[in-house]
Amino acid sequence: MLRSAVRPMVAASRKSLFSTTAKRDMKILAILYDGGKAADQEPRLLGTTENKLGLAEWLKSQGHEYIVSSDKEGPNSVFQKEIKDAEVLITTPFHPGYLTKDLIESAKNLKLCVTAGVGSDHIDLNAAVEKNIQVLEVTGSNVTSVAEHVVMSILLLVRNFVPAHEMIERGDWKVSEVARNAFDLEGKVVGTIGAGRIGFRVLQRLLPFGPKELLYYDYNPLPDHAAKEVNARRVEDLKEFVSQCDIVTVNTPLHEGTRGLVNADLLKHFKKGAWLVNTARGAICDKDAIAAAVKSGQLNGYAGDVWNVQPAPKDHVWRTMKNPLGGGNGMVPHYSGTTLDAQQRYANGTRTILENYFAGKPQEPANIIVGLGKYESTAYGQRK
């Protein structure tokens, strides 16, 4: 039995407002990716349709209907059919169920969207604001995981690791062929576009490498003590910022103000031969402009795990693009924020959000991206 049916944050919209017995028949829809054999063998792959974020037994015991599927495209998909009367939607950025304005219009009972992870751009947040649908993330759940991946990606590009490893697999041994484009991270200028939880952690982890300078570009300045801790200088003009960096890392959410931010025009302002790492969202970088910049050598390399479409089509140019020396590609599937450690954290966090929702308790403020009728986060664009 649930403890209370009164949920202050959504009370007005709940039929059970004055009931003392909790509603037990809530429909909760989760769109996750299929884990297949890996998920059967590895129960810690919680974010899969097989392991259901570890929530199935618990939700059943609470009397709720819990529908889990990976089928998300087209009007006949489980996602688009079941969303029509679901009250809670759980999605992950790794296999995003794109909740468009039209789907939001059709979702008559929807009150709460939970992103199991960080990054809710797959939801039309403006439409959620209009319809009083709350959007919550498990803030911080995988920021260390991503920051580590960023540092790894910077190193593998700067040190020309991928071509060196491929050479070894091929059976070759030509040191000069890989050393001709290998450098040290020490002494380089590294900058992050976005200095929130991940961007700041990247700067923290880069400091011991002895960079020449650490820079950041963000409309929310770092608190003084944080900027001091990582010895980072803020540059307020984006073109000026990129023109000073040997390495740029992108760590902002995707929203109207960041979609296509790194485009052909901005790439002209990068130092020739700079490296770019993007683990934030693929669509922040213009797909074709990036491929052209890598091909010409304007960028010496591009790495990341996020794509403008996920799963990325087989012929996506980012899978195979190379710099003029045959390297410079550090792309992987979207997994930096879904290590087994991270999955445990975002599965736990999802459960806590649901517990709060069922019990009518306030949510952790940092988790609220869209509250009732308004943005609560300042990270999804500068708004009045």
Cα separation, 45 vs 53, in Å, equals 8
Q: State yes or no: is 134 an active-site residue.
A: no
255 is in an annotated binding site: yes
Question: Which single residue brings its beta carbon nearest to ligand NAI?
Answer: 196
Comparing CB distances to ligand NAI, the nearer of 50 and 218 is 218
Q: Report phi then psi at 140, rounded to 5.
A: 85, -5
Smallest distance from ligand NAI to CB 123, Å: 12
Binding site for ligand NAI (CB under 6 A): 117-119, 142-143, 146, 193-199, 217-220, 251-254, 257-258, 279-281, 305-306, 334, 336-337, 379
Smallest distance from ligand NAI to CB 366, Å: 9
Name the catalytic one among 62, 134, 142, 160: 142
Smallest distance from ligand NAI to CB 82, Å: 25
- And the tokens for 378? 């300042």
Q: State yes or no: is 64 an active-site residue.
A: no
- Of 170, 218, 173, 209, give the one whose Cα is nearest residue 191: 218
Question: What are the distances in angstroms from CA 223 to CA 226, 231, 282, 369?
Answer: 5, 12, 28, 21
- And the tokens for 89? 């939607």
Smallest distance from ligand NAI to CB 12, Å: 28
Name the catalytic one among 62, 310, 343, 367: 310
Cβ 78 vs Cβ 344: under 8 Å = no
190 is in an annotated binding site: no
DSSP 336: T
Name the catalytic one among 201, 334, 345, 351: 334
DSSP H helices, the chain, are: 36-41, 56-61, 78-82, 101-106, 125-130, 143-158, 161-170, 175-179, 197-206, 224-230, 238-244, 264-267, 287-296, 317-320, 340-359
279 is in an annotated binding site: yes
Kind and range of the H or E run holding 249? strand 247-250
118 is in an annotated binding site: yes
Comparing CB distances to ligand NAI, the nearer of 50 and 305 is 305
Comparing CB distances to ligand NAI, the nearer of 257 and 313 is 257
Q: State yes or no: is 41 an active-site residue.
A: no
269 is in an annotated binding site: no
Cα separation, 128 vs 383, in Å, equals 15
Smallest distance from ligand NAI to CB 285, Å: 13
- Of 170, 175, 224, give the one whose Cα is nearest residue 195: 224
Comparing CB distances to ligand NAI, the nearer of 59 and 143 is 143
Helix axes 143-158, 161-170, angle to 10 degrees: 70
Comparing CB distances to ligand NAI, the nearer of 65 and 148 is 148
Name the catalytic one among 7, 281, 345, 351: 281
Q: State yes or no: is 95 an active-site residue.
A: no
Q: Three-state SS for 53?
A: helix
- Binding-site annotation, residues for NAD(+): 197-198, 218, 253-257, 279, 305, 334-337
Please give the positions annotated as active site.
142, 281, 310, 334
- Binding-site annotation, residues: 118, 142, 197-198, 218, 253-257, 279, 305, 334-337
